[in-house]
Structure 1
Amino acid sequence: MDIPQAIEDRLVDLEVKAAYAEDTLDQLNALVYRQQQQIDALLAELRQLRDRMPEGGGGAEVRNLRDEIPPHY
C-alpha cells in the first residue's frame, strides 16, 4: 500500500513542525527554569538585606517635624 506523494509530503511537514515545536518548548522550559533560579536568588538577597537593616527602616531615626528649624532661620 503506497501512500500518495502529497500525503507523504504533508506528513513530513507536520513531523518537522512538531520537532521544531518540541525544541522551542524545551528552550522555553530551560529559560523559565533559569528565571526562577534568578528570582529565588534575588529574594534570598532581599531577605539578607532586610535582615541587615536596623529596626525602624533605613537606619534613619524618626523625628518630629515640629522639632526641626526651617532653613530660613
Structure 2
Amino acid sequence: MNQEDRLVDIEIKLAQQEDLVDNLNKTIYQQSRRIDQLEAMIEKLAERVRTLQESGQGPLNERPPHY
C-alpha cells in the first residue's frame, strides 16, 4: 500500500467518523428534547395529583364500587 492509498483510507475513515459524530449529536439532541418533554409531563401530573389531594377528592387508589 503506497502513501497515497494510505492517505485516501485515512480521509475516508475521517469522513465516516465525522458522519458518525454528526448522527450521534443529532440523536443526543433528540433524546434531550424528549427528556425535557417527559419531565414537563411528569411535573404536570405531579401538580394534578397535588391539586386532587388538596381538594379532598379522596384517595387516588380507592377501589372501584363494583368490588
TM-score by length of 1: 0.69
For residues 4-58 of structure 1, give each alpha carbon's deviation from its aligned partner in whole angstroms, at most 9, with x where no partner exists.
Answer: x7000000000000000000000000000000000000000000001111337xx
Q: Displaced runs of 4+ in structure 1, greater than 4 A?
A: none
Structure 1: give runs of 5+ residues left out of the alignment.
62-73
Could you say which structure has the larger radius of gyration?
1
1:7 has 2:3 as partner: yes
TM-score by length of 2: 0.75
Q: CA RMSD in A?
A: 1.8
Structure 2: give runs of 5+ residues left out of the alignment.
61-67
